[in-house]
Amino acid sequence: MTINLKNFLKDKPKFSKMGEFQELEPIEGLEISAVSADLYGTGRDDLCLFYFKDGTNYAAVYTNSSICSESITWNRQIRKSLIKALLVNTKNANTFTGQQGKDALDTLSKYLAKNLTLRESQKKDGTTQAIRPNEIIFASTGVIGDRYPTQKIKESTQDLVEKLREKQNKFIWFKAASSIMTTDTRPKLAFETCRVWNKDIRISAIAKGSGMIAPNLGTMLAFVFTDADIPSVYLKSLLKRTITNSFNAISVDSDTSTNDMVAIFATGKVKTGKFYNTLDPKLKDFENALQKVLLNLAKQIVSDGEGAKKFVTVKVLNARSVNMAKNIAFSVANSPLFKTAMAAEDPNWGRIVMGIGKSGEKVSPEKIEIKIGDFKVAEKGKIAEDIDENKIKEYMQWDSITVEINLKIGQANYECYTCDFTKDYIDINADYRS
């Protein structure tokens, strides 16, 4: 699929809560390249390499699906906290590929390691230190069950290595983010700065995702790069905490993929002091910045949901527990009836009530208050007084819509992000393999 520039460049409404595209800045210690292995047969970029000459601390969180990509299985078997490269392909998920998929990664890791080692040895300040296959990790996205295109990727590896660029300008970042897309209509990029030990730290990140998106990451890939000097064990804890209210707070179609992966890489080029735990106050600014980056990317994924026209925030207030609020929020957000009402710009609050009820949570109907935007539509177990449906319909023409459910039985809150269901969703997925 080619990039829909009209969709990418369109102005957001004044009060939009969608994630916003940001220009990324270079991360010292990182080199990037993206090429076409002609996996789509169209010549578009579909292969991306991230290379860390001096190695990088990293951590990753993967899908909770009981069936996962061979790429994820490979990564989980690597016990090193310091790696040298990440290779990402689109078009093929490398899932349900059997021994062929496993063997492919063994072949590619050896070939890529050989080419990277050769490249380093040819530099003026070249090193004789060999890059090992177990210092390379993989990410894949695309069609499940298709034979993995080992030969095509192998034949493109040398080109990937030759085109690695240390100076990451806006074009390189855009090219990398575009190369990992599947049904996405636009690349997803986010950037933040923060202070750690009184030193300026950069965080640049890209992601892909459009369909098969649900909590527990959805069919998405996200790669975060920072020049901070943070140990892998701390990166893991920080990542787990920050995905809770970002990538695990989104849903496009309630389907969880086999290939979900969010990874963070810390090159350590900006030297900081020692940390004693992940709750160290010196890491707080970094965690806040990381949270902003991930939430931005998560919102960009939802706003680019397959066929989506509306970005929808579902807020649940004053529940007995966060878990209760979360269950109700997703029960509403994942309802096809609710999502089609959003697409039709129809303030059918009865479908919100239905979503609350089917969650299985014990609520007090006579206490519930429901708002669409700032407009109260239901309260005290019935339709709200003085409801003006014409004004609500006018509000629902906006690209960004908020639904608020106040249970009034506790103090816990939760919000999730989803999108509408349109006819385009059916068309996109009906033609997914063609």
Among the candidates 263, 281, 303, a domain finishes at 303
- 353 within domain boundaries: yes
Among the candidates 276, 303, 330, a domain finishes at 303
* Cβ count near 3 (within 10 Å): 15
Which amino acid appears at position 50 of this protein? Answer: F
- Kindly report, residue by residue over 132-160, the tens digit of the pLDDT: 999 999 999 988 889 999 999 999 999 99
**Cα 28 to Cα 349: distance, rounded to the nearest angstrom:** 51
Q: Is residue 354 located within the same domain as residue 265?
A: no
- 3 within domain boundaries: no
- Kindly report, residue by residue over 297-331, the tens digit of the pLDDT: 999 988 877 667 889 999 999 999 999 999 999 99
Q: Is residue 255 located within the same domain as residue 366?
A: no
For residue 72, the surrounding DSSP H or E stretch is: helix 70-77
**Cα 191 to Cα 296: distance, rounded to the nearest angstrom:** 9
CATH code for the domain of 425? 3.10.20.340
Is residue 142 within 8 Å of 184, Cβ to Cβ? no
**Cα 206 to Cα 190: distance, rounded to the nearest angstrom:** 6
What is the length of the chain?
A: 434
**Cα 230 to Cα 278: distance, rounded to the nearest angstrom:** 10
- 4 within domain boundaries: no
Q: Is residue 111 located within the same domain as residue 156?
A: yes
Q: Residue 161: what are its φ and ψ, rounded to 5°?
A: -65, -45
Q: Is residue 119 located within the same domain as residue 244?
A: yes
Predicted TM-score of the model (pTM):
0.85
**Cα 359 to Cα 356: distance, rounded to the nearest angstrom:** 6
Q: Is residue 106 located within the same domain as residue 196?
A: yes
Give catalytic residue positions: 219
- 1 within domain boundaries: no
- 331 within domain boundaries: yes
CATH code for the domain of 252? 3.60.70.12
**Cα 157 to Cα 117: distance, rounded to the nearest angstrom:** 13
- 71 within domain boundaries: yes
For residue 369, the surrounding DSSP H or E stretch is: strand 369-372
Q: Is residue 363 located within the same domain as residue 272?
A: no
Q: Is residue 49 located within the same domain as residue 119?
A: yes
Percent helix / strand / coil, the chain, rounded to 5: 35, 25, 40
Question: What total of structural domains would you count in the chain?
Answer: 2
Tell me the residue range of the domain where 281 lies: 12-303
Q: What is the DSSP letter of 69?
A: -
Is residue 102 within 8 Å of 120, Cβ to Cβ? no
Q: Is residue 293 located within the same domain as residue 340?
A: no
Q: Is residue 324 located within the same domain as residue 268?
A: no
- 77 within domain boundaries: yes
In angstroms, what CA-CA distances link 150 with 89, 101, 155? 11, 8, 9
Q: Is residue 379 located within the same domain as residue 270?
A: no
Among the candidates 251, 284, 303, a domain finishes at 303
- 99 within domain boundaries: yes
Q: Is residue 266 located within the same domain as residue 369?
A: no
Q: Is residue 411 located within the same domain as residue 354?
A: yes
pLDDT tens for the chain, 434 residues: list them. Answer: 334 433 333 344 333 445 566 778 899 999 999 999 999 999 999 999 999 999 999 999 988 777 889 999 999 999 887 899 999 999 999 999 999 999 999 999 999 999 999 998 887 765 667 899 999 999 999 888 899 999 999 999 999 999 999 989 889 999 999 999 987 888 999 999 999 988 999 999 999 986 544 444 445 799 999 999 999 999 999 999 999 889 888 886 555 666 788 999 999 999 987 887 778 888 999 999 999 999 999 999 888 776 678 899 999 999 999 999 999 999 999 898 999 899 889 898 999 999 999 999 999 999 999 999 999 999 998 999 889 989 999 999 999 999 999 999 999 999 999 988 877 666 665 665 55
